[in-house]
Structure 1
Amino acid sequence: MQMTTRDDLDHFLIAPDPKRGDLTRAVIGRDHNGDEIPLSVVEERPLTIFLNGQEIVTAMTIGDYPEYLALGFLRNQGMLQPGETVLGVDYDAELETAVVRTDGQTTYEEKLKKKTRTSGCAVGTVFGDMMEGLEGLELPQTALQTSWLYRLSAQINRTPSLYLEAGAIHGTVLCKGDVPLVYMEDVGRHNAVDKIAGWMLSEGVSADDKILYTTGRLTSEMVIKTAMMGIPALVSRSGFTAWGVEIAREVGLTLIGRMKGKRFVCLAGEERLVWDADPNQIPDENRKHGRKGN
């Protein structure tokens, strides 16, 4: 049995903290035999995001990294413009609000009227003109080595996480080459992505040489968010939607799904793959270490 070591976690700038007490709750239930069983279940709480004085959205979240979630959501919705200065993010735990303050004016009344409910769990919301942010977008044509994919998958699947502790949650990991850097989790995969976007914005991290790894489905929303962040590659353990594939091909995003063990499928950007690993040398995934189905 291959265990995660301290060395495996040292490269993470942010890693999951499955033992953090306020993210789960202990519940007593009964199993299929009628026996009493203790279970750890994920907490879910609202976060209302404001941009300056304007209320934008209320998201259901596990409650960690609210500042990053607020920043990333606004960034991925195109509500924080390039060059706009973020003066600060004020989080109030009691009021369950995060206020992002900028040096610009907020005039998104019309934008807020055009909402599209997405397929994301925990009721993802995309504003109707979000696709406008993709017009003229050209992602960097960064090469992606298949050996990186295998090493990332093995490392991430062995990392202690809230998902392995309690389930009912998605994970998203920002990577560089074969090194996972920032691992975020949430009840909605879009929230996990937004947290990473917020961290990148806050820390001034470039996207050109990054890979985004997710446990969720490769839907249009996931592809759009990744492209808006400027990340050239998106990888998932799960499958695709047709619109997600179409958008990835249009913007030049390398899109890889069904990444389990030695197997994966690339439906966009296959010309950027560098086949430097022999799949026959990669062990099949042990289900004890792999994630459960979405």
Structure 2
Amino acid sequence: MSHEYLLKPDPQNETLSTSVSGIDHTGKPVETRVVTEKALTLYLNSQEVVTMMTIGDHPDLLAVGYLKNQNMLKPDDVITGIDYDDDLQVVVVRTERETNYEEKLKKKVRTSGCAQGTIFGDVMDSFDAIALPDAKLKTSWLYALTKAINTTPSLYLEAGAIHGCVLCQQDKPLVYMEDVGRHNAVDKIAGWMTVNNIVADDKIFYTTGRLTSEMVIKTVMMGIPILVSRSGFTAWGVELARKAGLTLIGRARGKRFVALSGAERIDFDMNPEDVEEEPKGASRKGREAVE
């Protein structure tokens, strides 16, 4: 029985991928699905902020989440409108507060995220001030989550070359977003949480990609205390997670995982011997492209 998500990928959406002809390793003709990339330009009120490469779904959530994670939307900001023009590929977020981030936009730091992720210098000031909530992660929840997520129909399975991020609560995945850049997938979830006033204290964040500094920063900025990935770590990602008190779990496949930060939150309530190993060679289609 499949889990009922509040929001999940739609691999049958023909605007998100396309069929391309080629040949395989034997020289035979093949047809394969590849994900689309579109340029989306984001404005905050009258100011152009950034142009992002994205698959094009949920531009409103991507825009709000990006602004939230870049500390351009404040906790007490009131969003008065989100306007999206499909022909121009432009999204405009409007707020009651007058905004001017000309100086801030000059201080970009390019991250290791694919599709050229960026963060702004003053984001780290907010990062340092955040105190993550107390939380628990039962290993039974972790095993249930990885199994449910890895069997969910997605563009990741359909076409590869894409990142997936999932917002979870206990053993239930709630919202699953995908994009060509892991930072975009995170921002869509941050946008969904913002517009729906979702509390972060009891949430778990799952990503298919590496646990980089950017992933840690964005998770902390969202106020989520636990970050999980089936992939590996970077040294700076681990350092920042320890500094913030974030539980950081990687290489989560089958019964196996490694925790490099925040292990005190983990409740070992299930014997790993009772968990099925991920079948050998069961690497998901396109995983090489995203890891």
Per the shorter chain, which TM-score range? over 0.9
> When the two structures are aligned, how many residues end up with a matched partner?
287
Match of 1:252 among 220, 236, 245: 245
Secondary structure of the structure 1 residue equivalent to 2:153: coil
Change (3 A) 1:13 1:86: same
CA distance in 1, matches of 2:73, 2:281: 42
The one-letter code sitting in structure 1 at the alignment partner of 2:247 is T
1:103 aligns with 2:80: no
Find the counterpart in structure 2 of residue 34 from structure 1.
27
Q: CA deviation at 1:286?
A: 2.1
1:212 aligns with 2:205: yes
Q: CA deviation at 1:59?
A: 0.5
Give 1:16-35 correspondences, 5 Å limit. Answer: 16-35=9-28
Q: CA deviation at 1:135?
A: 2.4
1:226 aligns with 2:223: no
Find the counterpart in structure 2 of residue 197 from structure 1.
190
Find the counterpart in structure 2 of residue 3 from structure 1.
none
Q: Which runs of 5+ in 1 are unaligned?
A: 1-6
Match of 1:8 among 2, 9, 20: 2
Q: CA deviation at 1:57?
A: 0.3
The one-letter code sitting in structure 2 at the alignment partner of 1:174 is L
Secondary structure of the structure 2 residue equivalent to 1:135: helix
Find the counterpart in structure 1 of residue 276 from structure 2.
283
Secondary structure of the structure 2 residue equivalent to 1:191: helix
The one-letter code sitting in structure 2 at the alignment partner of 1:194 is D
CA contact (8 A) 1:117 1:124 kept: yes
TM-score by length of 1: 0.96
Find the counterpart in structure 1 of residue 165 from structure 2.
172
Find the counterpart in structure 1 of residue 42 from structure 2.
49
CA distance in 2, matches of 1:213, 1:135: 22
The one-letter code sitting in structure 1 at the alignment partner of 2:78 is T
CA distance in 2, matches of 1:228, 1:169: 23
CA RMSD of aligned residues (A): 1.0
CA contact (8 A) 1:141 1:252 kept: no
CA contact (8 A) 1:197 1:229 kept: yes
Q: CA deviation at 1:250?
A: 1.2
Match of 2:260 among 267, 282, 287: 267
C-alpha offsets along residues 235-259 of structure 1, whole Å, 9 cap, x if unaligned?
Answer: 0011111111111111111110010
The one-letter code sitting in structure 2 at the alignment partner of 1:217 is R
The one-letter code sitting in structure 2 at the alignment partner of 1:238 is S
CA distance in 1, matches of 2:158, 2:215: 25
The one-letter code sitting in structure 1 at the alignment partner of 2:137 is L
1:185 aligns with 2:183: no
Q: CA deviation at 1:289?
A: 5.2
Q: CA deviation at 1:290?
A: 4.4
Q: CA deviation at 1:9?
A: 3.3
Which 4+ stretches in 1 moved above 3 angstroms? Answer: 287-290
Q: CA deviation at 1:288?
A: 6.4
Give 1:79-94 correspondences, 5 Å limit. Answer: 79-94=72-87
Find the counterpart in structure 1 of residue 115 from structure 2.
122
